[in-house]
């Protein structure tokens, strides 16, 4: 074959490779990125002048693949960039010392690197969209649940007040009658319990009246901790406070703010192992005051991560919890125009983060 013919053959191989890589990328299944990169690597290997002696390696932040072992002394490398930031490399190596790479082969490597970068960008965009969609669906569901709950709570409020009122009247009348009086006590106690549940549901639905004042979060935390001291001791759990500033001012209803702190710390204690440490952190960003409560417990399952803020979701044994604590917290935070999120720690346990608007 003449030199021109040889060169032409090489160009055809390179163009075929680019075409193949494009087709692979177009039909790529985002869940199977490893397979896609492998197909690209083998397609690229074929395009080199000496395919038998050439190996290709693709390294990205998601995964890496090699067609064979890479020969360090003789290799070409191109960067893979994702949104203009280096994310990995694509390398071709020759394990035959007598040959060398062609100038066009470096260009081919660059082009394929660029295409892989585009693919990774597409994946990132799609992942962000999916997570945004899930967040919105979640917020939507809580919103609908809130409206439903508000309705039910209102409907139950009046009859419950009646049950309680009339039972108390009867109790006064039957004071001498021991067994009737005991039965009436049961009615009264159950009505009071139900009223508490209704109250919590109204918190969740942001239907509780509130008195907004300028409050300093730091003493609120310290007072709550003083009141919860016995609970910590009883469960053999200790706490660590990380607050750098003496004043973190926000606009809030003082009682409701305490309810947020209480519910989160009580959960952290409950789910802590023996000798576990609960960390309470408070800080400020430009616009918000941030409260973080983390523990060293079991953390949250997939299901729990999705449902923690829904009323009646609980993993506690029956009788131990109503599953309303975090829905109350969620309602209060929402009515303060704040945000709350739950996530698992890298090591162990969970962290709840509350963000509330600063008082200006």
Q: How far is CA 106 from CA 75, 101, 111, 190, in A?
A: 10, 8, 9, 79
Span 173-192, contacts to ligand ATP by CB under 6 A:
none
Nearest to 296 by CA among 229, 242, 345: 345
Instruction: Tell which one of 325, 331, 338, 349 touches Mg ion (CB under 5 A).
Output: 325
CA distance 48 to 10: 8
The least distance separating ligand ATP from the CB of residue 323, rounded to whole angstroms, comes to 4
Q: Is residue 267 involved in binding ligand ATP (CB under 6 A)?
A: yes
Span 154-213, contacts to Mg ion by CB under 5 A:
none
Beta bridge partners of 344: 350
The least distance separating Mg ion from the CB of residue 176, rounded to whole angstroms, comes to 42
From 184-192, 209-217, 317-325, 337-345, give the range in contact with Mg ion by CB under 5 A: 317-325
Task: Pick what 188 binds: Mg ion, ligand ATP, none; C-beta below 5 to 8 Å, kind-dependent.
Answer: none
Task: Tell me the two tokens of residue 73.
Answer: 């002394």
Q: How far is CA 157 from CA 153, 202, 271, 328, in A?
A: 6, 10, 33, 17
Q: How far is CA 245 from CA 16, 19, 24, 183, 250, in A?
A: 64, 60, 55, 54, 14
Q: Is residue 313 involved in binding ligand ATP (CB under 6 A)?
A: yes
Give the x/- contact pattern for Mg ion in 247-276, rule: CB under 5 A. --------------------x---------
Q: Is residue 149 involved in binding Mg ion (CB under 5 A)?
A: no
Task: Tell me the two tokens of residue 233.
Answer: 């001791």
Which DSSP string do the residues of 62-80 spell out, in sequence order? Answer: S-EEESS---SSSEEEEEE
CA distance 355 to 360: 15
Instruction: Tell which one of 117, 146, 325, 331 touches ligand ATP (CB under 6 A).
Output: 325
Q: Is residue 297 involved in binding ligand ATP (CB under 6 A)?
A: yes
1-4's contacts with Cβ under 8 Å and 24+ in sequence apart are none
CA distance 152 to 107: 68
Tokens 């040959």 correspond to what residue? 99
**Which lies closer to Mg ion via its Cβ, residue 57 or residue 278?**
278
Q: Is residue 321 involved in binding ligand ATP (CB under 6 A)?
A: yes
The least distance separating ligand ATP from the CB of residue 241, rounded to whole angstroms, comes to 17
H or E element, residue 37: helix 33-47
Task: Pick what 304 binds: ligand ATP, Mg ion, none; C-beta below 5 to 8 Å, kind-dependent.
Answer: ligand ATP
Q: Is residue 331 involved in binding Mg ion (CB under 5 A)?
A: no
Task: Pick what 112 binds: ligand ATP, Mg ion, none; C-beta below 5 to 8 Å, kind-dependent.
Answer: none
Task: Pick what 33 binds: Mg ion, ligand ATP, none; C-beta below 5 to 8 Å, kind-dependent.
Answer: none
Q: Is residue 311 involved in binding Mg ion (CB under 5 A)?
A: no
Beta strands in 248-338 (DSSP E): 249-252, 277-284, 288-294
The least distance separating ligand ATP from the CB of residue 277, rounded to whole angstroms, comes to 13
Span 269-288, contacts to ligand ATP by CB under 6 A:
271
CA distance 330 to 282: 18
Collect all residues with Cβ–Cβ distance below 8 Å to 11 and sequence separation of at least 6: 104
Q: Is residue 268 involved in binding ligand ATP (CB under 6 A)?
A: yes
What is the tally of helices (H) and strands (E) in the chain? 8, 11
Q: Is residue 14 involved in binding ligand ATP (CB under 6 A)?
A: no
The least distance separating ligand ATP from the CB of residue 359, rounded to whole angstroms, comes to 27
The answer to whether 336 and 213 are in contact (CB under 8 A) is no
From 104-112, 120-128, 148-156, 320-328, give the range in contact with ligand ATP by CB under 6 A: 320-328
Instruction: Tell which one of 56, 198, 326, 356 touches ligand ATP (CB under 6 A).
Output: 326
Instruction: Tell which one of 315, 341, 353, 359 touches ligand ATP (CB under 6 A).
Output: 315
CA distance 17 to 40: 9
Residue numbers at the binding site for ligand ATP (CB under 6 A): 263, 267-268, 271, 295, 297-300, 304, 308, 313-316, 321-327, 350
Residue numbers of the site for Mg ion (CB under 5 A)?
Answer: 267, 325
């Amino acid at each position: 074959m003449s030199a021109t013919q040889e060169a032409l053959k090489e160009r055809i191989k390179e163009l075929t490779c680019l075409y193949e890589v494009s087709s692979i990328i177009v039909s790529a299944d985002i869940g199977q990125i490893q397979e896609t990169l492998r197909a690209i690597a083998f397609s690229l290997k074929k395009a080199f002048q000496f395919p038998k002696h050439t190996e290709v390696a693709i390294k990205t932040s998601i995964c890496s693949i090699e067609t064979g072992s890479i020969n360090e002394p003789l290799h070409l490398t191109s960067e893979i960039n994702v949104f203009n930031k280096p994310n990995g490399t694509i390398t071709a190596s020759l394990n035959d010392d007598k040959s060398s790479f062609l100038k066009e082969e470096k260009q081919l490597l660059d082009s394929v690197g660029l295409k892989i970068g585009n693919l990774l960008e597409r994946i990132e965009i799609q992942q962000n969209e999916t997570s945004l969609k899930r967040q919105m669906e979640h917020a939507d569901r809580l919103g609908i649940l809130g409206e439903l709950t508000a309705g039910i709570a209102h409907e139950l409020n009046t009859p419950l007040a009646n049950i309680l009122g009339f039972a108390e009247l009867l109790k006064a009348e039957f004071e001498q009658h021991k067994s009737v009086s005991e039965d009436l006590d049961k009615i009264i106690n159950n009505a009071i319990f139900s009223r508490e549940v209704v109250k919590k549901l109204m918190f969740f639905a942001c239907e509780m009246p509130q008195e907004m004042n300028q409050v300093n979060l730091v003493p609120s935390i310290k007072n709550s901790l003083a009141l919860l001291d016995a609970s910590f001791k009883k469960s053999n759990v200790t706490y660590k406070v990380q607050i750098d500033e003496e004043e973190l001012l926000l606009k809030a209803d003082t009682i409701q703010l305490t309810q947020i702190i209480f519910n989160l710390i009580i959960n952290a204690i409950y789910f802590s192992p023996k000798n576990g440490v609960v960390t309470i952190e408070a800080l400020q960003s430009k616009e918000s005051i941030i409260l973080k409560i983390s523990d060293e417990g079991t953390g949250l399952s997939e299901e729990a991560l999705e449902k923690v803020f829904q009323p009646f979701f609980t993993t506690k044994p029956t009788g131990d919890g109503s599953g309303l604590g975090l829905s109350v917290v969620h309602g209060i935070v929402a009515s303060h125009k704040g945000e709350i999120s739950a996530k698992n720690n890298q090591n162990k346990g969970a962290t709840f983060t509350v963000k509330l608007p600063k008082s200006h």
